[in-house]
Every structure is written in C-alpha cells, then in structure tokens.
Chain A
Amino acid sequence: MARMSGVRADAVAKVPNFEEIRTAGAAIRDRVLSNLDAYLFQFEQAAQARGVIVHWAETGTDVNRIVRDIAQQNGVKKIIKSKSMLGEESSLNHYLQEAGLDVRETDLGEYILQISGETPSHIIAPAIHKSKEDVGELFERVHQMPRKHTIPEMCREARMMLRPHFLSADMGISGANFLIAETGSVVIVTNEGNGRMTTTMPRIHVAITGIEKVIPTLEDLSVLLRLLTRSATGQATSNYISMLTGVRGPNDSDGPEQMHVVIVDNHRTELLASDMREALRCIRCGACMNHCPVYEVIGGHTYGWVYPGPIGSVLTPSYVGLEKAGELPNASTLCGACAVVCPVKIPLPDLMRKLREKSFERKLRPASERLSMRLWGYVAARPKLYALATKLGARMLQWMGGEDKLIHKLPGGLKEWTNGRDMPAPSGKTFRELYAEKKAVGK
C-alpha cells in the first residue's frame, strides 16, 4: 500500500486548504445524517419525477428479492454489474445465479475475482492480492486464449471478453457513490468506464445504495468528489464521473428505458441510532486501509466480510453483530493513521475503542487474543520492532499458504481471525518485493 499512500499524500499536498475542505466534507455528511429522513424523502420525490422507480430494502435478503423480481418481471437473462458494495453485503451475485440469471462482474478487479471464485480484498482495488502472473494464468485457463504476459495485454483481453456482454445484457446493476437530493440523481465514479457501460447500454439500470449515500446538492457533490478521488487514488478527479437522472427520453438513442434505485437499510439505522453514527459519513475511498499497518500485513480477506481495513473493523461488527465479528475492533494498533487520512474525519480509532469496550462488557473477547493484541500494540508502538514483525508476518503468511496459496490457520493471536474461513495468501507487491529481496541476498 506504500504506493497508494504516497500518491494520496502528493495529491493532498497540492491543495493548501485540504483541511478546510475535509472539515466541510464531514459537515456535509453530518448534516445529511441528522436529517436523513428529509434528504431521502427529497431524493425520492426528485427521482420519481424523472421516472425512476424507488425501492426500499430493509435487509440484504430484501435487496436480493427486489433485484430478482425486477429481472424476472422484465424477462432479463443477462446482467452486467459494476462494483456494488451493497451487492457484496447481500451476496447478490450468488443469489441471482441461483435464480438462473447470467451475472457478469465488469470492474476489472471484480471480474478477475469472479472468474477465480474469490471475494474482494480491498474496496478500491479488489484484486490487489493477485499478482500479474496469477492473472495471466487465470485468463489463459478461463478465456482459453494464449498466455498474456504484460498487464496491458491482459486488460485488452478482458475488454475483448467483456464487450459483448455489455452490448447484449438486458440489465445493468451498479452501486452509487452518491445520491443527490436536489436533482434525484445517482452519481457513479469510475476509472475503467464499466460504470458508464453498465448504466448506458442495457435497457434496465438498477442502482443499489445504502440510505446514508444521499447528499444535498450539486455543490456538495463537488466538495465530496474532490475529497474522494484524492483520497482514493491520488487523482484530482476520476476518469468518469457520471450523474444519472431518470430514464431515456423519447428521442434519445441510448440510455436505459427503466431506472430503479434500491435504497437499503441493512442495519444502518441501528448505526445511526448508536454512538457510532460518524461511521456512516464514510464515502468508501479506501484511504484508511491504504494507511493501515495491520491491513498491510494481514490483507483484506482476514476482515471476514465486505469491508476491510479500519472502516471494516467498525462496520462489520455493527452490520453482522459483535458476537460474530467481535475480534475485528482489535485488528488495529490504534496508531491513528486512519483518522488522520479519512477525508470525512471519521474518528476510526475512537470508534474501534468503543467497540472494544462494548465487546469487553459483554465478555466477548477471548483471553488469548486480548494478550496477543496487547503484544501487537506493544510492538507496533516501537517502529523498528514493528518493521521486523510485519516483515516476518508477511513471509510467514506466504510460506504457510503452500501450494494452493490458501491459509487455513494463522499462528498465535491471529488464529481466531481465520477460524471458519480460508484466506487467500497475499501475493501482491509486498510479498513479491520481499521475495526479490530474499533472492538478492542470495538466499
């Protein structure tokens, strides 16, 4: 993640009043959260006025059912998807496939994971744990095409494989980065162009989004976009920012005939009612995980659910229950880097501390882990020791992965994190860099 944190720092340094914009961004999100009913109401009115069908889903199960019904009522066979975190929350792909629908992920990272049968490890770079060799091998096997060795060739091949699906799909499913109450619009930010394809080519567009995604106005959008893109990838803007408002007009030659927006609660109102409301400010930029020393070592999959990194440690216990994810708030050294980089100033370490207290009160934390986490904290507070420990940790994960590169058990305090799930071993930059170093010293 060193590279991703570096580009963010450069991008932020170019904006002398970044701090002022951050404060404004946090205020926009807070304003929405304290008047969420009114903003959602306004969004719904404005969207309906443009012919959008608005659905409300209380749970992930509801999301799946609603989307399946839309598909079945419209004779949909093929669906293309650009990234939707809500879809991940409810395992939508799996559900739709069970219902006999052909579902294709189109974000390059998500596509790689879909054809290899894995789940994302990072919200902005979902396939970050895969090396170029992994992808080359996978494409050769799945696409039945000659082996590609360079990343541009692989991208070209993925484009070629996915283009026919974009053009023949009946329905496109997307997430939404923002909903705009003023105009009833759905805003999607992408770099690859798959978000545009998904919302332009098929005759039906379904956007799935959490209740917290609404923002007031176009001006507020501008403030949040400046924060989002710089924090996510260090770009002053993303390649494509698409603002979608309603269905195609009678004389339009493209655009969907139907547009649906599914607004999802799925435990968000519980978070809103709690002393952890700030977590709902999140604009999913990924900066907190790019700057997290724990994420760097353990990788995204260890967080066990949709959202990895510090924000995942906060959201997952809130969404799936502290009992099931009680150890996550401990997946932190409380070094505070996440709070410093968060563009909407979510006090992530404070929230993790609160969750720790809650799970402690409920005696949910295993004693062994309490000890190992304290140890981790001790080590992390001492930079040299920490550097050594993380290097060892990364190597150990790789070695333990063995042939099939799946880690079944982790040593010591990390063990509980992998119970009940297999974790793909990290094979991205960190390991490869370490490997190169090892070779360099003649080992």
Chain B
Amino acid sequence: MSDALRSGGQGNPRDRILERIRAATGKDAKSATQDLEAVQSRLREHPRGPRPPFNWPELVAQFRAQASALQSTVEVVENLADVPAAIAHYLEDLQLDRRAVSWPEFRGLDWRAAGLQVEQRTVRDGDLVGITGAYAGIAETGTLMLLSGPQTPAAMSLLPDTHIAILRTSRIVEGMEEAWNLLRNEHGKPPRAVNFVSGPSRSGDIEMQIVLGVHGPYRVHIVLVTQDAGTPRELINTDWWRQPART
C-alpha cells in the first residue's frame, strides 16, 4: 500500500493503526476485549523473569566491586556528618574545585568546617561539582538509582564535571527488581525521571576506544554511609530551589 493511500483511509491514524494491528494478529472485537483484560491482569501482577544467579556473599561489597568496575570511585563513611570531610579529601586529592552545589537534603551538613563551599540551588552550566543523594543502589551492577523531584533535581547529577553521590548502605538492594518494588511501595508511580547511573559518561564512537566524560560527568564518586540518618523533616520544603542561594 502506498503512503498516500494510507493517509487517505477512514478514521484517524490511531484507529487505523490499531485496526491494522488487530487484523494482523487475527483479532475481532470480542477477542480484543478479552485479550485486553488478560493484558491488564498481567500488568497488575508484573511477574519477575529469570535473572543471573545472585550468589555474592555481601551486598555492599558487591555494589562496591561493580561500581568500581564501571569506573565509579567508592568510599565508605560511618555517619552522614563524616561526609563533608570525605568529600573535601576526595576533591583535594584530585585538585578539583572546592565549591559545589547539592540537593537540599544536605543543607544541614557542616561543609564549611571541611573547607568546602556548598550551595543548595539549581545547578548552572559552569558548576563543576554536583552533590546528590540517591534513591537506591543496585548491587548487581553497582548502579545508582536517582529519582527526579522538587528536592532531587535530575540536572545536578548530569551537568557538572564531577558527580558525587551520597548513598546509605541500607538503600542498597540486590537487583533492579527489588528497586522497582521499593518504588512501587514508597511512591506508587514513577516520578518524571528515574535515572540509573553506572559510572561516568563514556563513548566508544571514535575507533571504539572508550573515553570517559562525553556529555555527562567525567567522574562519579560514591560516598556510602553505613549508619542510617534519615532526612530531617524541616528540610522537606517543596520549593527550596526558588529561594535565594544559601551556603
């Protein structure tokens, strides 16, 4: 059938496409309705498929090993309060900028004492270091799972040259399937963007040589926090980013 003929058909494009699909798959109105019900029940049940055997002895060790394999760097601290010093060290070692922007949940940390200047505001082009939390970590692949939201903007892990993520070890799960369960249980629906980040951005587009740092960060540093300290209530302020920058 020529393109011109198709466009001149009956109904709207949507109905015509769906009609052609039904014809191609041998459905009439009745079987289409029954099949829709079967499909809907499958979506509700969302059964798990097979996956590689997860026989690693320890989740956190597995996460660390995999994250390192994908060129993230990982370090472990005990408390959230230890994070600024750890990050200061990291930046110093690499001779990176001591100024950063962060998600608002880290506003309460004593960055100054560690010699860092960390602002809670929207990220701009030219910001060199972005500090974020993470919704979960996936041990199978050493992957960070980030959810977008008013408190957790997606661009902060994307625009700066260096992305530092603070992840509580209590949030490390086995595989993506466990992360989906967390998401369904805690949020019901996915937010605008769920980003799985596995190491710095890379390309193999020139002669298949892998180069780190193409459009996203050049480096990803993960600070694991072993003692869980939840986010203080007063920091849940839905339009923090509209307010003047604070250090």
Contacts and interface: CB of A to CB of B under 8 A. Distances in A.
B155 A109 contact: no
Contacts of A249: 149-150, 192
A429 B209 CA distance: 11
Interface in B47-95: 47-53, 66, 70
Contact of A199 (B39, B47, B193, B197): B193
A106 B43 CA distance: 35
A217 B214 contact: no
A16 B51 CA distance: 10
B238 interface: yes
Interface string A157-191: 01100110011000000000000011101000001
B190 interface: yes
B226 interface: no
Contacts of A245: 189-194
Contacts of B24: 269-270, 272-273
A252 B153 contact: yes
B176 A222 contact: yes
A243 B190 contact: yes
A15 interface: yes
Interface string B201-214: 11111111101011
B39 A35 contact: yes
Nearest to A248: B192
B96 interface: no
Interface residues of B, number: 82
A219 B46 contact: yes
Of A4, A18, A238, A247, which is in contact with the most chain B CB atoms at under 10 Å from its CB?
Answer: A238
Interface string B171-202: 00001110010010000011111111111111
B227 interface: no
A221 B36 CA distance: 20
B143 interface: yes
Nearest to B202: A191
Contacts of B245: none
Contacts of B107: none
Contacts of A263: 17
Interface residues of A, number: 107
A201 interface: yes
Given A58-B6, A112-B205, A200-B193, A239 B39 contact: no
Contacts of A162: 215
B3 interface: yes
Contact of B46 (A109, A217, A247): A217
Contacts of A244: 192-193
A156 interface: yes
A41 B214 contact: no
B97 interface: no
Contacts, number: 281
B141 interface: yes
Interface stretch (A20-28, A332-340, A348-356, A362-370): A20-28
Contacts of B204: 125, 191, 233
Nearest to A41: B36
A167 B215 CA distance: 12
A335 B48 CA distance: 35
Contacts of A34: 25
B205 A37 contact: no
B13 interface: yes
A196 B192 contact: no
B158 interface: yes
A42 B42 CA distance: 11
Contacts of A437: none
Interface stretch (A147-155, A304-312, A371-379): A147-155
A38 B32 contact: yes
Interface stretch (A129-137, A394-402, A415-423): A129-137
A335 B202 CA distance: 33
B16 interface: yes
Nearest to A31: B42
A185 B206 contact: no
B234 interface: no
Given A159-B213, A219-B47, A243-B190, 5 more contacts: A42-B43, A131-B207, A242-B194, A243-B194, A245-B191
Interface of A: 3-4, 14-18, 20-21, 24-25, 28, 33-42, 50, 56-62, 106-109, 112, 125-128, 130-132, 135, 151-152, 154-156, 158-159, 162-163, 166-167, 181-183, 185, 191-194, 196-197, 199-201, 211, 216-223, 225-226, 233, 235-249, 251-255, 263, 265, 269-270, 272-273, 428-429
19 contacts: A20-B50, A21-B49, A35-B35, A50-B189, A109-B205, A128-B208, A130-B206, A193-B201, A193-B217, A200-B158, A219-B180, A235-B70, A237-B196, A237-B198, A240-B195, A240-B201, A252-B148, A255-B154, A265-B20
